[in-house]
């Protein structure tokens, strides 16, 4: 992978690397034991200095520099891989005022970035319920509130209809969360679209025809970002196992609300980095690629770039997204809805040895990008439930909400899985499955 290194990287980024080095013991003379390194890594990734690690920001670049420096110190041949990431970003604090009542962003309302345009709107409120009889012209120029979502509600179709009818902005009731989940997905929205709390929707329902002022400073665009890659040559170059985790998150809100992203996915990054520290101590029988990916939160862009331009053909992938939400490592999802992937089946076998349930659960994280291309993939992560699920993409996803021992258990299990990978056996299993699929395909013709 040496030929992929950016030739002027050391010169251009020398200062940022020195700043990082000054905060850590020099490579080869570190006094910090590995178990403390994990906590140090986690503290850095979730610190105010990282500012939520939003793709394309200087804060995410600090984290990328940190990760690259760590891989360098472990002896990996490391480099940035440029990625262009489309995303939606708030440039200042949103406002929503109805009559004289002002509402709080993220607490009372939040943007729906995939369906929404930015902008400033002033108009009269129109409360619309499922059985209301209204004329098309009643909607023109109005700020529409949907205080209830009827059964079978389709947001995309609703937004499309609202645009066609000349609606100025759309407010949709969306439960009663403590904090609204933040998203950075970009879309081609043409009007501001907001989620509002049920309690806020109830207040607004009694304010029909009130004047509404809405300002949504939402910017859609692309910014240059980087995957962080580290390559370690094994005894044989004909098999490359990639360990991946996305390091991006959602970024802090302009109003000061912090999104630290401890579970999602600082936990996965520190797990993979800790595994890299363990595996760098020995000669692996195959190539090891460690890839910290960007752009996951807005569409798996880092994973897609790695698939399109790998430093070596990807033979298999283990992705880690979210660990430490429970006090014990009782279960991990495998990234698939059913058996059939030889690497996922190996993962289930190793997990079972440790008394950990392997859950046949798919997802929309980076592992799905690799799976869609037919690459043997193990998509590990704890499936958040209850309170753990409610903190996802909110300011409550902090370091204090994680269980460090669970993450350490994850490191131990992941090291064992990697060491158990048998390239020849994996190829045989994959070849048998391909032959079976081809045979079944012939029979169905």
pLDDT digits (tens, 9 = 90+) for 373-406: 999 999 999 987 777 778 999 999 999 999 999 9
Kindly state the helix (H) or strand (E) to which residue 171 belongs, with its residue range: strand 169-173
Average pLDDT over residues 92-114: 96
Q: Convert the pLDDT of each residue in 311-351 to its tens digit.
A: 999 999 999 999 999 999 999 999 999 999 999 999 999 99
For the record, the structure tokens of 27 come out as 């490579």
For the record, the structure tokens of 83 come out as 């990625």
Q: What percent of the chain has pLDDT over 90?
A: 79
Q: Give 426's pLDDT tier (boundaries 50, 70, 90).
A: confident
Secondary structure class of 355 (helix, strand, coil): coil
- pLDDT at 411 (0 to 100): 97
Q: Convert the pLDDT of each residue in 164-216 to its tens digit.
A: 999 999 999 999 999 999 999 998 899 999 999 999 999 999 999 999 999 99
- What is the pLDDT of the chain when averaged over all its residues? 88
Residue 145 CA to its chain's centroid (Å) = 30
Whether the per-residue pLDDT at 443 is higher than 70: the answer is no
What pairs with residue 219 in β-bridges?
Answer: 89
- pLDDT at 133 (0 to 100): 78
- pLDDT at 433 (0 to 100): 57
Minimal CA–CA distance to 328: which of 256, 407, 398? 407
| Domain range 2-85+226-431, CATH class | alpha beta
- pLDDT at 9 (0 to 100): 28
Strand extents, DSSP E, 39-92: 77-90
Lowest-confidence pick of 33-37, 163-167, 289-293, 423-427 = 33-37
Identify whether the C-beta of residue 145 lies closer than 8 Å to the C-beta of residue 96: no
Record the pTM.
0.89
Tell me, yes or no, if the two domains 2-85+226-431 and 94-216 fold the same way. no
Gap between the Cα atoms of 177 and 179, Å rounded? 5
Identify whether the C-beta of residue 197 lies closer than 8 Å to the C-beta of residue 177: yes
Whether the per-residue pLDDT at 12 is higher than 90: the answer is no
Lowest-confidence pick of 68-72, 97-101, 429-433 = 429-433
Q: Give 255's pLDDT tier (boundaries 50, 70, 90).
A: confident
Secondary structure class of 358 (helix, strand, coil): strand
Secondary structure class of 95 (helix, strand, coil): strand
- pLDDT at 385 (0 to 100): 76
Residue ranges covered by each domain of the chain: 2-85+226-431, 94-216
Average pLDDT over residues 284-291: 97
Average pLDDT over residues 216-230: 95
- pLDDT at 299 (0 to 100): 95
Gap between the Cα atoms of 216 and 194, Å rounded? 9
- pLDDT at 97 (0 to 100): 98
Whether the per-residue pLDDT at 434 is higher than 60: the answer is no
Q: Convert the pLDDT of each residue in 16-72 to its tens digit.
A: 332 333 244 444 434 346 668 999 999 999 998 899 999 999 999 999 999 999 999
- pLDDT at 132 (0 to 100): 81
Q: Which option is the CATH number for 94-216: 3.50.30.30, 3.10.100.10, 3.10.129.10, 3.40.50.300?
A: 3.50.30.30
CB atoms within 10 A of CB 120: 12
């Amino acid at each position: 992978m040496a030929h992929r290194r950016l030739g002027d990287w050391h010169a251009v980024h020398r200062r940022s690397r020195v700043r990082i080095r000054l905060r850590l013991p020099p490579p080869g003379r570190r006094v910090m034991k590995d178990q403390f390194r994990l906590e140090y890594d986690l503290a850095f990734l979730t610190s105010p200095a990282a500012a939520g690690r939003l793709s394309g920001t200087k804060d995410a670049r600090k984290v990328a520099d940190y990760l690259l420096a760590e891989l360098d110190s472990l002896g990996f041949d490391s480099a940035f891989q440029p990625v262009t990431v489309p995303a939606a970003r708030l440039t200042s604090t949103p406002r929503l005022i109805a009559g004289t009542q002002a509402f709080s962003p993220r607490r009372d309302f939040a943007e729906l970035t995939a369906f929404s345009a930015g902008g400033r709107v002033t108009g009269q409120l129109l409360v619309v319920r499922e059985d209301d009889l209204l004329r098309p012209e009643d909607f023109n120029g109005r700020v529409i509130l949907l205080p209830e979502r009827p059964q079978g509600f389709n947001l995309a179709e609703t937004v499309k209809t609202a645009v066609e009818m000349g609606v100025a902005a759309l407010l949709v009731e969306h439960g009663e969360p403590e904090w609204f989940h933040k998203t950075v997905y970009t879309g081609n929205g043409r009007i501001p679209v907001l989620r509002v709390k049920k309690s806020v929707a109830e207040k607004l329902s009694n304010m029909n025809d009130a004047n509404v002022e809405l300002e949504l400073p939402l910017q859609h665009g692309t910014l240059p970002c980087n995957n962080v890659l580290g390559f370690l040559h094994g005894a044989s170059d004909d098999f490359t196992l990639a360990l991946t985790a996305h390091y991006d998150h959602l970024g802090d809100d302009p109003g000061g609300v912090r999104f630290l992203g401890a579970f999602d996915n600082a936990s996965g990054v520190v797990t993979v980095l800790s595994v890299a520290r363990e595996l760098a101590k020995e000669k692996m029988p195959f190539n090891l690629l460690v890839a910290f990916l960007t752009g996951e939160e807005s569409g798996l862009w880092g994973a897609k770039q790695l698939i399109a331009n790998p430093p070596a053909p990807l033979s298999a992938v283990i992705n880690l997204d979210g660990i430490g939400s429970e006090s014990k490592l009782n279960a991990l999802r495998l990234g698939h809805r059913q058996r059939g992937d030889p690497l996922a089946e190996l993962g289930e076998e190793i997990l079972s040895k440790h008394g950990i349930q392997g859950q046949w659960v798919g997802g929309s994280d980076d592992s799905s990008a690799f799976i869609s291309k037919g690459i043997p993939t193990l998509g590990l992560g704890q499936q958040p439930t209850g309170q753990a699920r409610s903190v996802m993409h909110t300011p409550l996803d902090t370091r204090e909400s994680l269980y460090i021992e669970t993450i350490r258990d994850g490191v131990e299990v992941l090291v064992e899985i990697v060491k158990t990978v048998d390239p020849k056996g994996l190829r045989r299993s994959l070849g048998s499955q391909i032959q079976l699929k081809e045979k079944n395909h012939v029979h169905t013709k």
